[in-house]
Amino acid sequence: MTTAGDIMHRGAQWIPAHETLDRAAQLMRELNVGALPISDENERLCGILTDRDIVVGCVAVGHDPSRVTAGEMAKGTPRWIDANADVGDVLREMTGHQIRRLPVIENKRLVGMISEADLAQHLPEEQIGFWVESVYAKGTSR
């Protein structure tokens, strides 16, 4: 059985909710990623911040990214998966909520992220095709 832990990208890092978006953008550049999980003061997942969120939700509306926090951008219920979950559960979570990045949690700690690139590297074509059709066919780009 292939698990979330088998296909995830290890070494994911939180951005604390109190950090500003300019710091988040710097961290994304340093880590070469397009998204960061947002943590509350207890290191619990409270959202996910994407590079698109920073551009569209802050810069494009005239806000100063040095004055807006990651926590202010956190919206909705954050989705995540346990490291021991079957890859089928990963696909159901991602397709069911039309998300392209999924934090992986083990023992209440962030241990990795699963992105579309991870799926492409580890899954057979038919599973990738199902995922792409389910996530992109409905016109969202999260």
The string of DSSP codes covering 39-63 is E-TTS-EEEEEEHHHHHHHTGGGT-
Q: Per-residue confidence at 4, pLDDT binned at 50, 70, 90?
A: very high
Average pLDDT over residues 36-44: 90
pLDDT on residue 83: 97
Q: Give 82's contacts (C-beta < 8 A, 6+ positions apart).
A: 4, 104, 105, 106
Q: Beta 15-16 vs 101-106: how paired, if at all?
A: unpaired
Q: How far apart are CA 124 and CA 47, in angstroms?
A: 29
CA neighbor of 96 nearest in space, from 36, 126, 138: 138
pLDDT on residue 138: 59
Average pLDDT over residues 10-31: 95
pLDDT on residue 141: 47
Q: Per-residue confidence at 24, pLDDT binned at 50, 70, 90?
A: very high
Q: Are 81 and 114 in contact (CB under 8 A)?
A: yes
Q: Is the pLDDT of residue 142 over 50?
A: no
Average pLDDT over residues 15-23: 97
Q: Look over the chain and give the mean of its residue pLDDT values, rounded to a whole number.
A: 90
CA neighbor of 87 nearest in space, from 109, 105, 114: 114
